[in-house]
Amino acid sequence: MCSINEENLLADTMVATPTLPFKDAVCRKCRIVKAQVLLRKTDPYCRDCFMKYAVHKFRSTLGKARALQHNEHVLLAYSGGLSSGSMIHLIKQGLEASDSNKMKLVIKPSLLHIDEGGILNLPKEERKASADFILEYAKRNCLDVYICSLEYSLAADISGVKLQKNSYEVEPSVYANQLEQLFGSVKSLTAKEDLLLRLKQRLITLLATHLNYPKVFLGPNATRLAGQLLSAVGQGRGAQIAQEIGFADSRTGVVFLRPMREFVDKEVAYLANFLEVDSLCLPTLSSKLGPTASIGRLTEEFVVTLQANFPATISTLFRTSDKLKSNVGVDRSSSEIKDDSRCLLCLSAIEESTLCSASTARSISQTISRSGPSGLNDLESEPYSTNAQQQSAACNANCSNPEKQCCKTMDAGTMKDWSVVLCYGCRVTMEDVKTPELVPINLREELRLRSRRQMMRQSVEQFLL
């Protein structure tokens, strides 16, 4: 049992790390040059030693995972921000390494930028100016850049996507209205941010597969990921932490890598300054809103505030999360998880509801709070069946009544039950979306197929001993 009580915690354990007097401090590495950088409040570095430290950290993050093959095509997701900009500069340095002590990075990178201006209601001129900045940045770094608008994340397949290479024109998309309505129907900012993340992931996967890039580098840094880690727990995605926060995420078939995951905000700021990284100041969904606007904002604010006084906060969170493993689908490797039991939005394994699961407890609590004690009676009689499933459970070969909804007559437009196709976290995100027409057509088709399969399974189970 834990022997620390609250008073001890405040008096002894929660002592903020004192800041080293920085004036005239000497670099702790070479012990010669005057320090220009202060990390973790106690570690002064000169510019050269900091850059060596940062490059080594970046390269070892990539090297440790042995994720890259010789001459592999890699897509670098570039938002225009400092973190992804610094990542591209570090990769460029690695490609050009002439120092015999440094291993040269041998990959073939290209940039990818997703234009999110549509959901942020940015004027066309502003979106064009941002794209011009990205194009100019790519040109300066002698890299090809692909730009695509977020609207195309709703396309069923690549044939419906307009991808532009080394140029960009903001054009009206057939999916613009659908995307606007989809975001409009999602009420909370937490759900909107999560939906944006999933749609971006879907679009990047679609594009990377089409362009034949097996790996995609993403730019989020440690501060951002630590906030996401806590918010993932808060949103019921605890089982997905290893993929959401870890270095590699291969849920979608394309491998997403996060080489900046060891750098905190402050290190990225120094790095960007020393590497002279230009950045684009793009608004986000939570711009101009307070720290309590969404779970993501709140957890990031919490981590940043704590990190300011306790510089080990983020690394402790990371080291802890690296040890966490999900027991969802633990007996199956990721390739063995049947497509039927994968979430359509995030492609994680869907946790099966049992009598004692957290999702069942939440469902009971939600039913009671929305419909009162009478809801509990309904739940007791049929704990897992939705209305549609209850009706179809009685469906058999004789169901010729055209007015009765059954496994044969049910169409996607009438279905609002996401539980067969979405994991718990995505279900919470999509809770307010009551119109299936707003999701991509292939997801709708999958929803219909899986629902039918589940209903047939339930009706067959009635005849089994």
Applying CB under 5 A, which residues contact Zn ion?
A: 27, 29-30, 33, 46, 49, 343, 345-346, 423, 426
Using CA atoms, how far residue 25 sits from 22, 31, 36, 311, 385, in Å, is: 5, 9, 9, 19, 67
Q: What is the smallest separation between the CB atom of 45 and Zn ion, expressed in angstroms?
A: 6
Q: What is the smallest separation between the CB atom of 84 and Zn ion, expressed in angstroms?
A: 24
| CB-nearer residue toward Zn ion: 170 or 195 | 195
Q: What is the smallest separation between the CB atom of 285 and Zn ion, expressed in angstroms?
A: 19
| CB-nearer residue toward Zn ion: 62 or 426 | 426
| CB-nearer residue toward Zn ion: 202 or 261 | 202
| CB-nearer residue toward Zn ion: 347 or 407 | 347
**Tokens linked to 201:** 């992931």
Q: What is the smallest separation between the CB atom of 441 and Zn ion, expressed in angstroms?
A: 19
| CB-nearer residue toward Zn ion: 31 or 64 | 31
Q: What is the smallest separation between the CB atom of 349 and Zn ion, expressed in angstroms?
A: 9
| CB-nearer residue toward Zn ion: 27 or 230 | 27
| CB-nearer residue toward Zn ion: 27 or 285 | 27
Q: What is the smallest separation between the CB atom of 52 and Zn ion, expressed in angstroms?
A: 8
| CB-nearer residue toward Zn ion: 27 or 438 | 27
Q: What is the smallest separation between the CB atom of 430 and Zn ion, expressed in angstroms?
A: 9
Cβ(425)–Cβ(350) under 8 Å?
no
In 3D space, the residue among 282, 269, 265 whose CA is nearest the CA of residue 225 turns out to be 265
Q: What is the smallest separation between the CB atom of 426 and Zn ion, expressed in angstroms?
A: 3
* Residue where the block lists tokens 């044939």: 159
Q: What is the smallest separation between the CB atom of 251 and Zn ion, expressed in angstroms?
A: 9
| CB-nearer residue toward Zn ion: 28 or 452 | 28
Using CA atoms, how far residue 51 sits from 101, 103, 127, 267, 270, in Å, is: 15, 16, 34, 10, 9
Q: What is the smallest separation between the CB atom of 195 and Zn ion, expressed in angstroms?
A: 11
List b or e across 63-84, with b for residues whose CB sees 16 or more CB atoms inside 10 angstroms: eeeebbeeeeebbbbbbbbbbb
| CB-nearer residue toward Zn ion: 67 or 182 | 182
C-alpha radius of gyration, the chain, whole number: 25
| CB-nearer residue toward Zn ion: 33 or 97 | 33
Q: What is the smallest separation between the CB atom of 35 and Zn ion, expressed in angstroms?
A: 8
Q: What is the smallest separation between the CB atom of 319 and Zn ion, expressed in angstroms?
A: 26
| CB-nearer residue toward Zn ion: 117 or 296 | 296
User: CA 301, CA 295: separation in Å to the nearest integer?
Assistant: 10
